[in-house]
Each structure stands twice: as structure tokens, then as C-alpha cells.
Structure 1
């Protein structure tokens, strides 16, 4: 899975968290899928990030309305400002309806990524944590942090960093995704170097 797709997953999960804050929609959503160019690694700056929400036909209009309202809140949130810094602010396009009756279900079954399911036992994903942190301004501290996280790639060095040990992913220079079981170690590493950070739990489709 490439960095662009990982970013799209984290971005969509962040937006979905605003939707699920609305209690009236929780029980109406059966599952949520990411599909389209974001999944294929073909996302352009002007491309939409396509999300499909599986729900009963009678709830379709209500779910769409709540999603539209929730996304408006996401786009003016502090979370969104962090994505602006990363220059990853694609519009999120949400479709809703009964999955088995939807015209693009074959495409989703072939390449879609399941972001959420009401039934945990069928969710083929693992818990992970998205860390966003401030990079030190002092050159010495900057190299100290990046070498600890990502290792050293200079000629003559073959040191692996914490990210490889934790089987994590580098999304950007200051954004990483770590398996849930390494959350505490990641926090300790960042705190030991006096690094300010924020974190959000997400699901990653393997």
C-alpha cells in the first residue's frame, strides 16, 4: 500500500470521525468503503476522495444530509488545518445507499478498502494510530529525531529506525502510522525528545 493511499485512509477516517459524532446516524450505517483513484494510487490534487456508505434505502437521504453537515464541520476544524499543512485537502465525495443494489459494487468488491463495519468480526483490518508531530527547528535535534524514527541512510550506515522495528509507515516527514501495540513506545520516544504530537486511532486494511 503506497503513501498516497495511506494518507487517503487516514484523511477519510479523520473525516468519518466527525460523522460518527452524530448519534442519529450511528445505527443507520452498516459499513463504509474507500474506493476509486485514492485506492488505486492515482489521486490527483483536483481528484475527489470517494467514499461509499452502506445503509438501508429508507435512510439514504438522511445519512447523506448528516454527512454533508458533518463534512462542513470537518473542513473548518483544527484537524483539517493539520491536513492543510500536509497539502492533502482533497474534497471528500460521499455516496450512500444499499451496497448490494449499488451500480459500482463490483468495483468496490474488487479494489475497495473497508474503513468501517458494524460487525467487527468481518472487518479485515487492524488497529493503528496516526501520529502527527512537530519537527524540531534546531538541526541537531531534527537529525536526532529523524534518525531515531527512520534510521540512517548515509553512506556507511545501515541503521534501522524505530519505524521499521514497529512495522509502521511514514506518511509524511512529520506523520507516521504505527500499529496499536506500539502506541505507548512511540509516545515514550517522542516525549523523550520533547516533541509535541497529536494522535488518532484508525483502522488499516491489510
Structure 2
């Protein structure tokens, strides 16, 4: 599945909300990066999601311990239960230290996604909504739904679906992502077709 990095960004940001419950840590953390296989859309069943926390060497152990404690709280939270619906529950591999002195600094610098920075506000995020759908079991209803949602492409005929009209994307067979400003259009159609769903608002960084 491509575009897994967008799910990974939202997943790690959700985790960070548990770490930053203690304002002391947000003051001592300079930057937080997502890097590795999640960024490259190369996650497998055995993958971890790699997170690097850039901080002062004096704070390294304390922040790393706090970060792992926060991950333990995240794993037993209601938020984590929601991620199970997306089948996106990869373990977090968290390291803390000074980026300039870290052995994988080249990897982080070349491919890393900046998720948090104390020195600057990140304004290039888009508010998106992830939908996980319960697809119709009836074949006729299923085909009608898929054609309207994703469009049709046959010999000599092409029709765009609702997802393209609202600027959304298909992430998997039953998971789609839609700009927040257009979520009502998708919800209205799902209600009309009596398609059950759950959803979660996230930030996506381009």
C-alpha cells in the first residue's frame, strides 16, 4: 500500500500528544523527526516506525525514558484502539539525542519528515479526514458504490468518481483520505448509501 507515510505521520503525531502532556519535555525537545521505512512507504508486517527526538545531550536519557513511557501509555489508550481499525499499529522505535552527533543523521537529514520544532511553527500541514469503510456485501450495491466513489474506466468510456471530485485518495480497499473541507460531501453520500464507516481527523505534511 502506498502513501503509508501519511498514516505514519498521523500515528506519530497522535503518540506525541501523550509525550507532550508534560510541558517540561516540550521545552527541552528541539525537533522530532519521522524517518526510515515509514517515510519511504516500505513498511512491512515486521517493521518499526522510527522516530528521532533531537535534544540536548544532558537531557538525552531523561527524554528517551519519558518517550518510551509515553509510548506505553499510547499503546493502552483509546486512541490506539482507533488505530487498530486502520490495522496500523506498528511499534515505535524511539531514539533521543543531538542530531548532529547521531550515527544516522544523514538518513534523518535526507529523508526525515519534521513533525515538531521548537524553533519554528509548522504551517504546511493539511487537515484531512481518514475514513474506514464497511463495504456493502450485496454485489449490486457494492459495484454501484465503487463506481460512484472511485469512478469507472472502460473501453471508450471514463468517468471520475466522487473521491477525485473532492480531492481525496484511496489508501486501501476500504480506507480513503479526504480534505477536511470536503468531508461533508463524502459523509452525505455514505449516509445516502447506508454505508457504515468510522473516521479520524489528521494532519498531513506535504
In 1, Cα distance between equivalents of 2:13 and 2:148: 28
Q: Match for residue 171 of structure 1?
A: 171
In 1, Cα distance between equivalents of 2:99 and 2:9: 20
- What 5-or-longer segments of structure 2 have no aligned partner? none
CA contact (8 A) 2:135 2:195 kept: yes
Task: Give TM-score scaled by structure 2 length.
Answer: 0.78
Task: Give TM-score scaled by structure 1 length.
Answer: 0.78
| Deviation, structure 1 residue 178 | 1.9
Residue by residue, what CA displacement relative to the aligned partner does 1:83-139 show, whole Å, maximum 9, x if unpaired?
Answer: 445544322101122334433222212111222334564554433222233333333
| Deviation, structure 1 residue 173 | 2.0
Q: Does 1:52 align with 2:45?
A: no
- What 5-or-longer segments of structure 1 have no aligned partner? none
CA contact (8 A) 2:151 2:162 kept: yes
CA distance change for structure 1 residues 196 and 175 in 2, over 3 Å: closer, same or farther? same
CA contact (8 A) 1:18 1:74 kept: yes
In 2, Cα distance between equivalents of 1:195 and 1:17: 31
Q: Match for residue 186 of structure 2?
A: 186
Residue by residue, what CA displacement relative to the aligned partner does 1:159-195 show, whole Å, maximum 9, x if unpaired?
Answer: 2122222332222222222223323333333333333
CA contact (8 A) 1:125 1:204 kept: yes
- Equivalent pairs, count: 206
CA RMSD of superposed structures (Å):
3.0
In 2, Cα distance between equivalents of 1:157 and 1:182: 27
Residue by residue, what CA displacement relative to the aligned partner does 1:38-57 show, whole Å, maximum 9, x if unpaired?
Answer: 22233222121101122333
